[in-house]
Structure formats: C-alpha cells, structure tokens
Chains A and B, each alone.
Chain A
Amino acid sequence: MTLATAGPSAWSQPFFHHALLAGTFIALAAGLVGYFLVLRAQVFTGDALSHVAFTGAMAALAGGYDLRLGLFAGCVGAGLLLAGVGRRGRADDVVTGSAFAWILGLGSFFLTLYTSSRSGVTGGGAGTTVLFGSIFGLNGGQTLVAVLIGAGICVAVLLIARPLLFATLDEAVAAARGVPVRVLGLGFLALVGACAGEATQAVGSLLLLGLLAAPAGAAVRLADRPFLGLGLSAGLAVLEMWTGLAISALVPTLPPSFAIMAAATAVYVATFLFARLRAVGPAVVTME
C-alpha cells in the first residue's frame, strides 16, 4: 500500500504530515481519556469498544455509508449503553464478554457482506484497515476531521476534569457534595466512545486498547498527583505516537500501528524498571 512508497524521503511526503498532525491530536485525546479510564478501572470498556468499533465501521461500509459514521455512532452508542448497564448492578462479565464476542462475529459478517458486494479487489483491505488502522492513508479532509474531533475531546475532558476526578476518587463524597456523578459517568463514557472512534483511525480497532491503556498506565505508575499524571499521560501518548511514526517512516517494512504500539509498550515496561530502581535506590543508600 502506501508503505511501499514510504522511502527515505517519507518526511517530506504529504501523507506523513497528515499522519503526524492527526496522530498528535488522536494521541492527546487518547492520553487524556485513557488516564481517567485507568483511574476508574474501566479499561475493559476499551476492550468492549474495540469490538464495536470494528462492527460499526463494517456495517457502515456494507450499508454504503462513510466508515467513520458507523465508527463514531457505534462507539458512542456502545459507551452510553455500557454506562447504563454498569449502573444497574454489574451484569455478569460472562454475558457481557459473550455479547461482545458475538458483536465481533457480526462484524466479520458485515466484512464479508462488504467485500462480496464490491468487485473484491478494493474491498479486500477494508477489514485490515479497520482492525489495524492505516494512519498513513489519511487524506487532507480526513485529517481535518480527526484533528477537530480530537481537539473537541481534549477540550471536553479538560472541562469536566475536576469534577470527574472528584467523582472517580471518592464517588460517595462527590455525590454528597452535589457533583452530578451519574451524568459525569455517562458523559465520560460517551467521550471514551468518541475517542475509541478516533484511535481506530490511527492504530485500528484491535489496538486502540493499547493506545488508551499504555500511556495512562505508565502515567499512573509515575505520578502520584492526579493533574500531573493527566498531563504526563497526554504527553507520553503524543511522544509515543511521534516515535512510532518516525520509526515507521525510517523502516518502511514496519507498519505504523505496530511501531506506535511497540513504543507505547516499551515506555510502559520502562516504568516497571524505573519503579524497581526507585525502590532499590534508597535501600542501597541506607545500607552503606
């Protein structure tokens, strides 16, 4: 695909600029949303949304609509649905897990429906594109939409950050103080849905969980103060996105989704080593 054309001069190509621009805002949104997702112990939501993202996008393609319409409609809808289910005394995870397994199966049905309705040549890559993303394939218009939605998610998260943090850390006290806990939870999951739709365009629906969880997990391990952690999570996400894109531009055989995931995983693993060093450090000093 585009990878073949990504020679050593990938830096100056428009597709790389598009990817860099869109990727920055996608990573910002994913870092901010992911931090709350990890703090609220709702990482499994990201997993569930990754299934819905695939099926939504495939259903839209099979129905002849723009892929992103199904992506965002599916993810935001599923986020709101999960928020509703979560309130009503956790439906057991076996049923939730099976429901999402079935939704993924449904996605494979739509994929076949789509590829068999097209001439087959162009449709073949559609499933792979949605599952694993193709950030180098974004054109100017798609980049603009991704940037605007990403910026919108960032602004929305920052606006509700204070009350949401309060509601996350101590729900009962926050509710007693008059914080609208329910509405916040609902709104937050809608934002997670939108963010999942964004991230799918960059790294694909199967890998968006990593983009949400890895920078945020690293930030939670590194920073104790919440707002520091929030900033760190967004910063790490952007840094990992840039690193991944650069690696992929330098080594064209590596797909960008893999490079981004590899950078994110490396940072996350590094935080474990860092924590161990920090734990060992004082002990060595006291022994001397």
Chain B
Amino acid sequence: MRLLAEAASGSFSWNPVTDFQQMWAYPFMVNAFRAGAVVAVVAAAVGWFTVLRRQTFAAHTLSAVAFPGASFATLVGIGAGFGYFGFCVAAALVLAVLRRDGRPGGVEESAATGVVQAFLLACGYLFVALYKGLLTGPESLLFGSFLGITGGQVAVLAVVGTGVLAVLAAVGRPLLFASVDPEVAAGRGVPVRLLSALFLVLLGAATAEAAQITGALLVFALMVLPAATAQQFTSRPAPSLLLSVLIGLAATWLGLTAAFYWPYPLGFFVTSFAFAALLAARAVQALREASARRGPTALVAPTGEPA
C-alpha cells in the first residue's frame, strides 16, 4: 500500500495545477477524490444536525459498529460496502428503538454504552483474526485508506449519499425545529419521535459512508469537526450548513492530496486538517471577543441562537 503510493507520487510542487494533473493521471486518485467529495458533503451535512442535536455520542457508537461491519463482510466474502451500510443502519435502528422511551441517562447508561462499544470492537477483531488474509492487518479498516476505490464503489457512495441528502432536505425544516426546541415542535404537531428515529438512520448511513474514507475510528472527525467549526462563525442555519460542507470538503481533498504525496495514513491528514480548522476558528472567535470587550460595540452573536 505504501509502496504503491510512493511509486505513484512524484514530488510535491507548490503549484496546484501541476499537482492536480499529476494526481489525476491515476484513475484510482480520481475515484478517491470523487468518493471523498461525496463522503465529505454527506458527513458534513448530517454532522451539522448531529452537533445541533447534541447526538455526537450516538455518532461515536455508530462509528464503532463500522469496524465489525467491514471485517464481517470481508470474512464472509461480500463487498465491504454491504457490511458498512448493513451494520451501521441496523445499529442506528437499535439505537432508535432503545431511545424511544425517553433518555434514561445516568451512571448505568454510560457503563452500558462502554461495554457495547468494546464488545463490538472485539467482534471486529475476532472477524479479522478469523479471516487471516488481511495483509495489512486491521489498520486500513480502522484508520482509512484511499487506494483501490473502484468506480462501482463511487457509484454506490453517490447513490446512497444522494438519497441521504434528499431525505435530509425533505425533512430539514421540521428536523431543525424539532432539534432546536423539541417541546414546542411537538406541541405544534411535528412528529418529533419519528424524526428522531429517521435522523438516526440517516446518521447510520452517513457514518457508513464516512468510515470507508477515514476508517472506522476517525469518522467522528469528518462528521463533527466541520460542523463544530462552522457553528463558531455563524449561528444562522443556511450559511452555517454551507460553511460546514465546504470545510469538510476542503479537509478531505487536502487530506487526499497530502496522503498522495507523503506516505502517512489518510485518516491522520483529514483529522489534522479538520482539527486545525476548529482550533483556528476558536482562536479567531476568542480574538473577536477580546476586541469586542475592549471596543464599545459588541457585535458577537450569541451561539446556539435559532434563526
């Protein structure tokens, strides 16, 4: 895997045109960029709602499911995509059923979540150990790989991604309402519970997509970081959502470029760029607040304000 990357890569020049020409001379890189674009857009859009609804923990659990999903599919000999989507969506349905009777919370739930998560990862390890044919070990499933993405896989990613975005667009307004103020939304006749279950399924599908690029352990970064960064800058839904998609796309493509030229894992680059964006946004925000405190006119919008 690393050898291929080294053989393929020329040297990095700071001229983006030649760099992209060099990368896109390889069909596998073109596929990787296509897949990365689809995944980044879907993950950022779904992740934006996840951050708004404070369901990042659910996203974390679902990403732990992606690993046994992929390794089970490898063991049985079906496409990894089936494993990712099947396991993640099934887990999302289970979560939706468990969550139906309110949120129990407290001491016992956190212990239960920890046990379930560890057991799922252990199952993934079992499948990998049983399979024995995985040359690189489980690392590429856990930390992401961009090599060997076929045109068929890109098509599947695109179809599922379009479906997720279409459903998200259809339920966007009521979902936003239900996320910001569930009680009032329920009072106005919005089916809050149904929306919550539907959103978990969308989250499962988006997690399954993102896991194929960043690896199961680093989905959290691609899903939550762009949204958290965007919500630092603006609290109005539409610009914030757009900004989060753009940040996700930029982090993924920059990550792909970096992973093409330097022999380190894709997941590392994507998380690093996304995390750097969040830190930069925080720093800008802190500077702005400091100058607003000094100056007479404070124009800093309170965060979390619905439009």
Contact = CB atoms under 8 A, between A and B. Distances in A.
B9 interface: no
B62 interface: no
A13 interface: no
Interface in B253-298: 263-265, 267-272, 274-275, 278, 282
A159 interface: no
Interface residues of B, number: 51
A261 B119 contact: yes
Q: Which of A116, A125, A213 has the most C-beta atoms of chain B within 10 angstroms of its own C-beta?
A: A213
A218 to B, nearest CB: 9
B272 A105 contact: yes
B240 to A, nearest CB: 14
Contact of A214 (B108, B118, B224, B270): B118
Interface stretch (A76-84, A89-97, A177-185): A89-97
Contact of A99 (B119, B137, B265, B275): B275
| Interface residue range, chain A | 35 or more
Interface in A29-63: 38-39, 41, 43-44, 46-47
A104 B221 CA distance: 10
13 contacts: A43-B113, A95-B282, A101-B225, A105-B269, A106-B271, A108-B215, A206-B217, A208-B118, A210-B118, A220-B108, A257-B122, A258-B129, A264-B115
A175 interface: no
Q: Which of B114, B218, B274 has the most C-beta atoms of chain A within 10 angstroms of its own C-beta?
A: B114
Interface stretch (A127-135, A187-195, A279-287): A127-135
A206 B67 CA distance: 12
Interface of B: 2, 51, 56-57, 60, 106-108, 110-115, 117-119, 121-123, 125-126, 129-130, 136-139, 142-143, 215, 217-218, 220-221, 224-225, 228, 263-265, 267-272, 274-275, 278, 282
A194 to B, nearest CB: 19
Contact of B267 (A108, A128, A220): A108
A97 B51 CA distance: 12
A97 B110 contact: no
A258 B126 contact: yes
A147 B118 CA distance: 24
Nearest to B229: A98
Contacts of B115: 210, 213-214, 217, 264-265, 268
A210 B139 contact: no
B56 A93 contact: yes
Given A98-B275, A99-B275, A105-B270, A210 B218 contact: no
Contacts of B112: 217, 268
A102 to B, nearest CB: 4
Q: Which of A94, A204, A255 has the most C-beta atoms of chain B within 10 angstroms of its own C-beta?
A: A94
A109 interface: yes
A56 B2 CA distance: 23
A27 interface: no
Nearest to A51: B217
Given A38-B107, A132-B125, A106 B268 contact: yes
A124 interface: yes
Given A127-B137, A209-B114, A258-B123, A104 B218 contact: yes
A245 B272 CA distance: 38
